[in-house]
Structure formats: C-alpha cells, structure tokens
Amino acid sequence: MRVRGAVRPPGDKSISHRALLLAALAHGRSELEGLLTGADVKSTARVLRQLGVDVSPVRAGGSVLVGGGRALARPAATLDCGNSGTTARLLLGALAGRPFAARLSGDASLRRRPMRRVTEPLRAMGAHIKEERGDSLPLTIRGGGLHDLTYTSPVASAQIKSALLLAGLVGGVAVTIREPYLSRDHTERLLVHLGLGLSYHDGAISLPRAAGSLPAFRLSVPGDASSAAFLVAAAVLAEGGELLIENVGVNPTRTGFLVVLGRMGARVERLNLRDEAGEPVADLLVRPAALRATEVAAAEVPTLVDEVPILAALASRATGETVFRAVGELRVKESNRLELVAANLRALGVAAEARGDDLFVRGTDRPPRGRVDTARDHRLAMAFAVLGTISGADVRLSERASVAISYPAFFADLRRIGEGGRGKGDAARHRH
C-alpha cells in the first residue's frame, strides 16, 4: 500500500493509568483529557470506583473527571483488573499503604503473570499478602503500617518501580529504588510535575518520607508511542507516500524503537517538539525505507519492550539477521511473546527462532503468507496485521478484537492511512 495523510494515535496507556491513580490520590477534582479509552484503562477506572473514587465514564472525545480527596476505601468485592498488568501491579503498590484487605484478580492471561516481583518488596515494606495460587493473582493484600525501603530490582520494570513509589506515597514512608536499566519514568515525571520532591543519586530514585500531598491537576495525555509504533511500521513498509503521526509522546524511555529503526535505515522526523506536563511530545513524519538488520542490545530493551513484536515484524523485511538480546521478559507479557513472535513469523515463512533469552529473525523479500495465532494479545494482533499490509501478503489473524486493549480504532486507522482505503490498503483479513 501507499500511505498518506495524518493520524493521531490513542492516549498513552502507561500515562493514562498513572493519571487516574494519582488523580484518585490527589486533593480535589482532577480533569484528564486524551485518556486512552482502551479496555486496560477502563479496568483501572473500574477498580478505582470500587475503592470509593468518583471517576466519570472513560469515553472517546470527552475529558474524565476524578474526584480525589478521600483515601482509598475498603472494596466490597474482588477487584477485577481484567487483562491489565499495570492496573494490578500499580494498585498493589497503592493498596500496600492502606489498612484494609482487598482481593485482586484478572482474566486468564493476567492470572498467569508473575506478581512476586511486586509483592516481595511490598512485603519487605510491611504489607501482608496472601497468595491463593503461588506467584500470580488472585491475591489478597492488607496494607498499612509500612516502613522505609531501599530496593534493588532484579528486572528493569516500570511497574515494579511505580508500585513501590505509590506504596511510599500512600504509606508515607521513604523508598529508594535501583533498577538494572532505566525503565519508563512516567510516574516520576508526573510526581515531579505535581510538585513532589523526588531525587536521583547514583542511578537510584528516592521518594522522601511523608513526601507530601498531591494537588488536583489537569492533564492532557499525549498519544501512545507504543501504538504509534504500528503506524510508523506500516509507513516504513509502504510502497510510497508519507505519513504524519500527530501528538506522540517521545519520552526517551519509550522511543528505543525509533533509535533501532534509524539503525535499520528508516529515519523518522520529529516535528513540533513540545512539552506536556513534563513529557516531551512531537509529531512524527515517516516515509517508506529499505531496511537492514541490526542488533538490539540488552540495555535498549526497556526502551522498546512493548515494540519487540513490531520490530521483529520489520526485521522479517530487512536484509540480514536481526538479533534481540535479553528479551526474556517477553515471556511474561500478555502472552508468551518471545515464543509466539518466533512461531508466528515461522508460520508466515520467515526464519525466526528464540534461543535462550535472545530472538533471531532473518529477513526475506517473499510476501508473508499464513495463519497467525495472536493468543488474544493486542500487540501480536497489531504487529502481524501490519505485516499483512505488504503487497502479496496473506496474513490471517486468529482474532482481532484484542486491539481494544490499547488501540480500539487500530484497524480503522490502518485502513485510513492506506491510499485507496479498504481493499487496496486493507490489512490482515479476519478468519471466520
């Protein structure tokens, strides 16, 4: 297909979760604009309502009002976090600071994901956590009476870091966190924007004891760089034209995929760079490019952790073999992305393999043809749908509804950016 025109990705998922949570903890009524309307953010809104917070409906086009000021209150029923790991883990952090019991659960995918990475340090702070099935949900947490924590995380994870910062904030204790590589820093930026004194020293981040209370705030959430990545990829793979992707968050802890794309031969221009509540935002101008293989280093992985599926899809169109080092974390995302990216690429005729924690993808110029198992994972569905836009491709997805987790309008946008609209530029077909 050829690409043309301008498109706006949906609101940033990570920032939307954090904005809702911090607004719930703030004093007074906050107003959030551009919040993602995907299912994951609705999960956060729903559990906050169960905890006694007033959250207006999360709807496209409107702003969301959050009535903070009251402390999170004991929920009457299990908190259903749906498919959202961020909801579950950040909420565990906030609840560690509150003196009542709350039970958390989620869908089948979320119930397979590890929780001890968060519950172990929260226990070390003094929270009581009862497991029902080992290292996973459902869990019951009873918080309150916390003490200070200094913690070195074995994985670079913004969910761990944010959970501990929220525990410190709600519990009124000091926390210092070190991670092997810097993960996304949206929580820190928002806390600093709201006037809290965080400090950095020797690569560690510290929240002081009794950090203070949060004022109510207004926030316009930037577009999600991870959602924009699928549009960028579609434009890079196109046969011609150019695409403007407007209002994209370009926080450097999130834009590793642009760095890697640059090495692969596709330069994406950043226009109209601006600041939105402490987050850099730009419009991205993308043109088609011929790609060459690259090596993605372990230190880069946290900056592109959600973009490995789409980068692997792009690598399948590059000359040479691309290697992604140390991507073992992909096994514990919404699906086992490490194995499924490799298996699905093979199903489309691409040589791809997961060896240990590394992923290898050999590029080809044969059109991808075959059936893809998305495992109901939104990012797998979108990555392989983009591969389906190549001319001569025949990519059949097992389902497409999962895109509603992070990008409800994905298929409509993908169709719209392709010249000629439906038919000519259409993406992967759905298997009925």
Give me the residue label for tokens 């590059």. 318
Judged by CB under 6 A, which stretch of 55-63, 153-161, 195-203, 271-279 contacts ligand S3P? 153-161
Determine the Cα–Cα distance for residues 254 and 295; give it in Å rounded to an integer.
18
Applying CB under 6 A, which of residues 7, 10, 11, 14 lies at the interface with ligand S3P? 14
Sole binder of ligand S3P in the list 83, 157, 247, 402 (CB under 6 A): 157
Segment interacting with ligand S3P, rule: CB under 6 A, options 151-159, 167-175, 239-247, 264-272: 151-159
Strand partners, 206: 176, 199
Least distance to ligand S3P from the beta carbon of 272, Å?
25
Nearer to ligand S3P, 263 or 331 (CB): 331
Select the span of 67-75, 152-160, 173-181, 308-316 touching ligand S3P (CB under 6 A). Answer: 152-160
- Which residue, 30 or 183, has its beta carbon nearer to ligand S3P? 183
Could you give the CA distance from residue 52 to residue 74 in angstroms, rounded to a whole number?
8
User: Which pair of tokens denotes residue 402?
Assistant: 């999962």
224: annotated active-site residue = no
Tokens 């791809």 belong to residue: 352
Binding mask 291-330 for ligand S3P (x = CB under 6 A): --------------xx------------------------
Q: Which of residues 183-202 bind ligand S3P (CB under 6 A)?
A: 183-184
Considering only residues 109, 159, 247, 402, which one is a binding residue for ligand S3P as defined by CB under 6 A? 159
The residues pairing with 427 across neighbouring beta strands, listed in sequence order, are: none
Specify the residue, 306 or 377, whose C-beta has the smaller distance to ligand S3P: 306
Contact call for residues 350 and 342 (beta carbons, < 8 A): no
Total residues binding ligand S3P (CB under 6 A): 11
Alpha-carbon distance of 279 to 63, in angstroms, equals 19
Q: Which of residues 226-245 bind ligand S3P (CB under 6 A)?
A: none
Q: Which is nearer to ligand S3P, 80 or 306 (CB)?
A: 306
**Which among 45-53, 93-101, 155-163, 217-225 is the span making contact with ligand S3P, rule CB under 6 A?**
155-163
Work out how close the CB of 108 gets to ligand S3P at its nearest, in angstroms, rounded to a whole number.
Answer: 18
Residue 32 phi/psi, 5-degree rounding, is: -115, 125
C-beta of 166 vs 393, nearer to ligand S3P? 166
Q: Is 158 in the site for ligand S3P (CB under 6 A)?
A: yes
Q: How far is the CB of 159 from ligand S3P (least distance, A)?
A: 3
Q: What is the sign, positive or negative, of the torsion defined by CA atoms of 346, 350, 356, 359? A: negative
Q: Minimum distance between the CB of residue 162 and ligand S3P, rounded to whole angstroms?
A: 6
By rule CB under 6 A, what string of x and - marks binding of each residue 85-114 to ligand S3P? Answer: -x----------------------------
**CA-wise closest residue to 1 among 238, 232, 234, 236:** 238
Q: Which of 12, 185, 306, 377 is catalytic?
A: 306
Q: Which of 184, 290, 230, 337 is nearest to 9 (CA)?
A: 230
Q: Which is nearer to ligand S3P, 338 or 390 (CB)?
A: 338
Q: Which is nearer to ligand S3P, 80 or 188 (CB)?
A: 188
| Shortest distance, position 86 Cβ to ligand S3P, whole Å | 4
Tokens standing for 108?
Answer: 């089948």
Which pairing describes strands 29-33 and 64-67: parallel, antiparallel, or unpaired? antiparallel
167-169-170 Cα angle (round to 5): 70
Beta bridge partners of 285: 244, 269
Report the nearest approach of ligand S3P to the CB of residue 158 (Å): 4
Give the SS3 label for residue 399. Answer: coil
- Cα–chain-centroid distance for residue 128? 28
208 preceded by cis ω (within 30°)? Answer: no
Nearest-angstrom CA–CA distance, 302 and 290:
26
Least distance (Å) between residue 114 CB and ligand S3P: 9
Locus of tokens 């999960």 = 43
Nearest alpha-carbon partner for 167 in 97, 112, 110, 215: 97
Binding site for ligand S3P (CB under 6 A): 14, 17, 86, 157-159, 162, 183-184, 305-306
Active site residues: 306
